[in-house]
Structures are given as structure tokens and as C-alpha cells.
A and B are shown apart, each in its own frame.
Chain A
Amino acid sequence: MRGKAHIPETTLALYVPGDLPLWRRALVRLHVARCAWCRQMVDVYRSDRARLREIAAEMPESVNWNKLAAEMTANIHVGLAAGECVAPRRRKQVSVGWRPAAAMAGLAAVLVCAWWLNMPSNTTQELGRAFHAILTGRGGVNTFPARDGRGLVVELSSSGIDLRENGSLVFGVSQDQAKLVDVSASVQGSASARYVDDKTGQMTITSVYAQ
């Protein structure tokens, strides 16, 4: 029949495994019974589906299945054993009334001041820099443009890597006993510092991951 309309292919593609709503399926069934082209397309999609199932069940040629299966089985046992070792810790909830808490905070401040005043000046200078770094979120020689300080920031400098959250330092990488030879960053959220031990020559690469 010239100019005869066919069922759209996307509809025929859904008809084969019964993915159409009931009423549409009935209409398509009626049409398919009369239309050779649509009937042929239904057979083609049915055949494609069967072939997909066959091929999907076959192992890719590049895979040495026995070796891969052995590796995966071993690693599954690793993962299960690791899960047993690392049980989540519960933080002990210490409930203290506000008056005792305020009194303890005051006492702690007194103790800290006494400790600070009795330390050698070079130590206080170092700690002063640390305080400044903590309070301002800036630990390095470079100053960076003031921006919205929210979120995680990975900072790389000639002394190592810092991970800051909302401006405060939460994780840092720096080594005293090895020489820093390189820092690098990945925009996916990690940074690495490469150190070489002058005595042993061994290279160590320490990385930080911002999640």
C-alpha cells in the first residue's frame, strides 16, 4: 500500500520484549499482523536481543579468565579480612554540664598560657607561625588571592602539600628526613609530593586525596 504508515522504530524496539504499556501493545499487535515491514523489524529486534544475550555471556578475548578469577578471589578475601580488621570506632560521648565545661576551658587556657610563657623563644616563634597559619589558613610564603574560602582546597608549595577545609588545615604532608624533589596535582582532587631519602636513595611518593 503506497504511503502506508509504519510503527516508529523506537516503539517496535520496545514491543519485542513487552516493554510497551498494555493498550499500546495491543495496537501494535494489530498493526504488525497486517504490515510485513513492521513484522520483519520485530523479528530483527528479537534477533538482536538474542544475539546481545549470547555475546554478553562470552568472555572478552583479551581476558585470561582463570588468572583473573584467581586474582579477584584473592582480592575479595583481602577485602573481607580488611573489613574485619577495621571496625568503625565509636567516639565516646562525654557529657559534661556547661558550668564544669566552662571552668575546665578556663583552666586549660591558664595552663596553655603558663606553658607558652615558659617555652624558649625560638619555639614560640615557630608556634606563632603555626598559630598564624591555623588562624589565617595561610602557611606558605606565597599569598593567594582572597576568595570564597569554603570547601576543600589543596595547596602545593615548596614545603609540601596541605589540605584545607574552610580555610583550616586538616591534613598536611611534609617530611623532615627526606628531600622534597617534586609536587604535582591532579584536578580530580589529589596531590603528590615526591621525596628522596639522601641516605638510601629510596624515593617515596606521598599523596593526599580530597574527597
Chain B
Amino acid sequence: MTTMEQTVRVVRPGARREVVPSGLLGMVIFVGTEVMFFAGLISAFTISKAGAPRGAWNLPAGQVLPVASTAVNTVALFASGALLWVAGRQYRARSSAATQTLLAATFFGALFVMLQGREWVGLIGHGVTLRSSALGAFFYVIVGTHAVHAVAALAGLGVAWWRLRAGRLSDGFFLAAQTFWYFVVLIWPVIYGRVYF
């Protein structure tokens, strides 16, 4: 007769633990799909631009995209991203300390969107529309969808600020809003570098 002993570890469903907040994981997956969305737009832009006849990739009536003023807008966007990073550190240390910094980050983000809007008004006034040229069409579609994402992310930051002020902000929501805004900030240099130059 032989006796065998074996140790068996039984793990019940109750042993599962959250290694990452569900809201953050969902936002990461969503951002992944949005990265591919912008990659598709940038891809179409790059192939169309490379295939355009020499001198044909222009805006109508000798207009040019406002590279210099957009650089200023870009600084505002980066400032917003940096402020949000600081707000994240403050939030981890003591949640209420991040209120002012989060508000400042939201302000600079809103400033970026408003300055971009002002540029659009100027371009439309000079006859640059979706149908005026291929470059104009790509410009409005790519930069416009980025602006839509920026507005949505700003709404998320606004809600986060409101909840933080009321003492009802969850870690998952804050991290998700932070991730979305970082995506808006980090995808912009790619768009700026490809479309404006």
C-alpha cells in the first residue's frame, strides 16, 4: 500500500482582486481604438499627399495653414497636460490638494480648443472649406475630430473637478479622465507635424 500526499490550492471567485480600476482599463481600450482611428486618418492623408501632383497640395487662393499661431496653441495644450500630471501627483498625495491644479489644466485645455476655433473661423473666412481642396478636407476632418475628442475629454476633466470639489471623485474616474486627456495631448504633435507641415 502506498500513500501519496499532494497539496491542492483551491481559489474561489471571492479571491479575485482588482489590479487596475475597471474605468481605467475601459478607457485604455477605448484610447487604443481611437489611436487606430487617427492612424487611419493620418495614413490616408500621407498617401494622398504623396500621390498629389507637384504644386497641387495647397489651400485655395494661396492660403497657408497657420503654423505659428498653432504652435502657441500647442504650448497651451502641453501646459494643460503638464498641469494634469502635477494634479495627478497631488491627488495621490492628498486628493483635495489637486482641485486648483485640475481646474488650471482644464482651463488651458479649453484655451487650446478656443484658439483652434478662432483659427478655423479665420480660415473659413478666407474660403478654406471642406470642399475647397483635398488639403482643406483632410485638415478639417483630422483637426476637427481631434477637437471633438478634446471637448469630450475636457467634459471628463470638468466632471472630475466637480466631483473632486464635492469629495465624491473615485480613483477610477480620475485615472480614466487623465488617460483620455493625455491621449488628446500626445496625439496632437503627430497631427500638427503631419498636417501643418
State yes or no: do A and B come from one complex: no
Chain B contacts to A: CB under 8 angstroms: none
B-binding residues in A (CB < 8 A): none
